[in-house]
Amino acid sequence: MDRTYKDIQQITLAVDCIIFGFNDNRLEVLLVHRGFEPEKDRWSLMGGFVGNHEDLDDAANRILKDLSGLEDVYMEQVRTFGKAKRDPYERVVSTTYSALILKEKYNRELIEEYRAKWFPIDELPDLIFDHKEMVESAIRRLQRRVRTFPIVFNLLPEKFTLPQLQKLYEGIFQEEMDKRNFRKKLATMDFLVKLNEKDMSESKKGAFLYRFDEKKYAKSKNFTI
């Protein structure tokens, strides 16, 4: 007897986005209030269902744009969550993506529309389903990736100070880093360009501003923290 795929299984495919931002020297995640049942009005990641004729990456980019107003941001696939009863309503398999954005570029009107809020990664509220596990998985991947790839600069403005950069790494790893050793590693990176400008907001002496030169990095590929 011939059988079709529909005779064998029916699974709904979803995408959930873990959106990271950096503010007040802390790594944060953007959460929204879920707008429908089950678990309506509880804190949730930004997510949605994949269309029948839509690729996973396209769905992730669409959802990110629809819910945040952002596009052309750094985003990568993390992993897939597929426990049989992860969603009590029906069988849903969700692929997670992490995105690194500048918080000031986020559309404040959308924050109000979706009742969104930024939370430090160590102060997350109770989340629906397995979304906490999703965030933890994304953080672990981020910790691995930032050691050998300069993706952290997606979380910083074009001009930044070395103390800001160190605080960002400390926020990602949730631990203090030795200033001397950190600066020693940075000194080997010629793609960190020192500018003839200072940020005077933190002290009277100020701190020199730097920028990340992507073209120089493309030539050297020398990045290890």
Instruction: Report whether the peptide linkage leading into residue 38 is cis, meaning its omega lies within 30 degrees of zero.
Output: yes
Closest listed residue to residue 118, CA positions, set 106, 109, 130: 106
What residues does CATH 1.10.10.10 cover in the chain?
Answer: 151-220
Is-contact 166 176, C-beta < 8 A? no
User: How many whole angstroms from its chain centre is CA 17?
Assistant: 8
User: What pTM was computed for the model?
Assistant: 0.91
Judged by DSSP in three states, 43 sits in strand
In whole angstroms, give the CA distance from residue 224 to residue 222: 7
pLDDT at 69: 81
* Beta bridge mates, 99: 19, 75
Is-contact 159 167, C-beta < 8 A? no
pLDDT at 1: 55
Q: Taking the domain 151-220, which CATH number applies?
A: 1.10.10.10
pLDDT at 220: 80
Write down the architecture of domain 5-145 according to CATH. Alpha-Beta Complex (3.90)
pLDDT at 66: 83
pLDDT at 169: 96
One digit per residue, the tens of pLDDT, for the chain of length 225 reads: 567 767 777 899 999 999 999 988 899 999 999 988 889 999 999 999 999 999 999 999 998 888 778 888 899 999 999 999 999 889 999 999 999 998 877 767 767 777 889 999 999 999 999 999 999 999 999 999 999 999 999 999 999 999 999 999 999 999 999 999 999 999 989 999 999 999 888 777 889 999 999 999 988 877 888
pLDDT at 2: 66
8-state DSSP, 15: E
- Contacting residues for 136 by C-beta, under 8 A, at least 6 apart: none
Alpha helices for the chain (secondary structure H): 5-8, 56-68, 108-113, 131-145, 162-173, 179-186, 214-220
pLDDT at 74: 93
